[in-house]
A and B are shown apart, each in its own frame.
Chain A
């Protein structure tokens, strides 16, 4: 792509695919997979060999990386599945707004203000308490398929 055609999007990579195909038989535990359009982390894979039920099949049990819901799928092992590109980026936490958004400092020095506080109660409490105490916090943001969410917290301040 030449510079003139470069479009800016606030979220994921411009034009790059959010998923890539991978043969079902090669997807392992702790890998990622798309089930019913949701990006998921695989917690269990079992393969049934070719037999009375037809072609060999992989049975996946996976957890949606954003909603923590359990999803499952069965796919012939020679078929391709979609695997999401999952990125983790660290940002320094600058501010928490009243309506539940966070203000983050990016590597390039810009602020990123479009992210909400996480819904997970433990993480939410840690962030709020840590910020209220004036600690220096770095949040890890996981992004996949156009969605983003804070998934972890680090205290980098002096002890």
Chain B
């Protein structure tokens, strides 16, 4: 090759680059020569790349969410007396919406969620029906570890139901039925005699009160007055119980409209608080939280942890930026999607945020 050609080829391959030093984080993973320091290991994720970095960012965003106070904002000079009271503005924190799918409550993430409700670290919960009943059933009878490859027909003949690589014996649901039917009878009685109008969130709070077991997140949600919304309440074993109950003792009414008012009000009336969304999985919980936040022109923080992809146009797979186009997340918001199974990512996230000792939560 002649001299000029060589120079051209050289400059094509070795194109001058912009310098990133000081602008972007250097990629550097954890050095095990330091020994096994879990906190250091988690902190190193931010600079490890790919989804580890996304998880690291999620941890940062959630810490921002938790640590924000109204006193961080500049208050308008003609604000009300309350807005100028320093004790008040230092007490105003972000309103945290937590959403998760049912399978996560079948898994050990239930214990992480219980920790968050026990210490009132979240303000509103949205889930699907299994997210309610699996928590209650675990107080009556446990779920076991199985395997994804266990053959369905054999499991059916042995009365075992498979959720991924978990197994729930039929007997658990029979116990749930025996436990809940008298409660539904009592609720019907209260509806007819005391004019109580039940909604999914009221029913769930009642079940949390009735289970009266501190391993249940619903028990703590009831105790700490954290509303749990489940607009799809009939889509699970709980729905089956309502169906059967309607034959023996017809007439129980459950009002969805009141609950959509309550859910949207949580967002609309949140101001001057900021709002943050932590959403595990997709489906109904993801959309319901985003939609409510749309009512206040968007959430200020959003962390998604799920394995869904956007190529099929599904809402489950949609990235936070899609929600920005709807006004469900503010364009000034800090957001991240961690492409990871929540059973791995969420406990690690909570370890470095809510559970890390330096954060204080008012009782």
Question: Which residue of B is nearest A51, CB measured?
Answer: B170
Q: Within the complex, which residue of B177, B236, B247, B248 is in contact with A55, where a contact is CB–CB below 8 Å?
A: B177
User: Which of B61-69, B77-85, B237-245 makes up part of the contact surface?
Assistant: B237-245
Q: Within the complex, which residue of A52, A54, A72, A74 is in contact with B161, where a contact is CB–CB below 8 Å?
A: A52
A71 to chain B, nearest CB (A): 10
Task: Determine if A51 and B161 form an interchain contact, defined as CB atoms under 8 angstroms apart.
Answer: yes
Q: How far apart sit A51 and B159, CA to CA, in the bound complex (Å)? A: 7
**Residues in A neighbouring B161, C-beta threshold 8 A:** 51-52
Q: How far apart sit A75 and B245, CA to CA, in the bound complex (Å)? A: 10
**Residues in B neighbouring A53, C-beta threshold 8 A:** 173, 177, 237, 240-241, 243-244
Q: How far apart sit A52 and B248, CA to CA, in the bound complex (Å)? A: 19
Q: Is A50 an interface residue (CB 8 A)?
A: yes
**Residues in B neighbouring A52, C-beta threshold 8 A:** 161, 170, 173, 236-237, 240
Q: Is A41 an interface residue (CB 8 A)?
A: no
Q: Is B176 an interface residue (CB 8 A)?
A: yes
Tell me which residues from 153 to 182 in chain B have a Cβ below 8 Å from any Cβ of chain A.
Answer: 159, 161, 170, 173-174, 176-178
Q: How far apart sit A51 and B241, CA to CA, in the bound complex (Å)? A: 12
Q: How far apart sit A54 and B161, CA to CA, in the bound complex (Å)? A: 12
Question: Which residue of B is nearest A54, CB measured?
Answer: B177
**Residues in B neighbouring A72, C-beta threshold 8 A:** 247
Task: Determine if B244 and A54 form an interchain contact, defined as CB atoms under 8 angstroms apart.
Answer: yes
Q: How far apart sit A72 and B243, CA to CA, in the bound complex (Å)? A: 13
Question: Interface residue tally of chain A, by bracket?
Answer: 10 to 19
Q: How far apart sit A73 and B247, CA to CA, in the bound complex (Å)? A: 6
**Residues in A neighbouring B244, C-beta threshold 8 A:** 53-54, 57, 74
A interface secondary structure, majority: strand
Tell me which residues from 221 to 265 in chain B have a Cβ below 8 Å from any Cβ of chain A.
Answer: 236-237, 240-241, 243-244, 247-248
Tell me which residues from 40 to 71 in chain A have a Cβ below 8 Å from any Cβ of chain B.
Answer: 50-55, 57
Question: Which residue of B is nearest A53, CB measured?
Answer: B240
Number of chain B residues close to chain A: CB under 8 A: 16
**Residues in B neighbouring A51, C-beta threshold 8 A:** 161, 170, 173
Task: Determine if B237 and A50 form an interchain contact, defined as CB atoms under 8 angstroms apart.
Answer: no
Question: Which residue of B is nearest A57, CB measured?
Answer: B244
Task: Determine if A74 and B173 form an interchain contact, defined as CB atoms under 8 angstroms apart.
Answer: no
Q: How far apart sit A53 and B243, CA to CA, in the bound complex (Å)? A: 9
B238 to chain A, nearest CB (A): 10
Task: Determine if B159 and A74 form an interchain contact, defined as CB atoms under 8 angstroms apart.
Answer: no
- 0 or 1 for each of B77-95: is its CB under 8 Å from A? (1 = yes): 0000000000000000000
Task: Determine if B247 and A74 form an interchain contact, defined as CB atoms under 8 angstroms apart.
Answer: yes
**Residues in B neighbouring A54, C-beta threshold 8 A:** 173-174, 176-178, 237, 240-241, 244
**Residues in B neighbouring A50, C-beta threshold 8 A:** 159, 170, 173-174
Q: How far apart sit A86 and B170, CA to CA, in the bound complex (Å)? A: 38
Q: How far apart sit A57 and B174, CA to CA, in the bound complex (Å)? A: 11
**Residues in B neighbouring A74, C-beta threshold 8 A:** 243-244, 247-248
**Residues in A neighbouring B174, C-beta threshold 8 A:** 50, 54-55
Chain B residues in contact with chain A, CB under 8 A? 159, 161, 170, 173-174, 176-178, 236-237, 240-241, 243-244, 247-248
Q: Which 5 A-B pairs have the closest CB atoms?
A: A54-B177, A53-B240, A74-B247, A50-B170, A52-B237
Chain A residues in contact with chain B, CB under 8 A? 50-55, 57, 72-75
Additional pairs, 16, CB under 8 Å, beyond known A51-B161, A52-B161: A50-B170, A50-B174, A51-B170, A52-B236, A52-B240, A53-B237, A53-B240, A53-B241, A54-B173, A54-B174, A54-B177, A54-B178, A54-B237, A55-B174, A57-B244, A74-B247
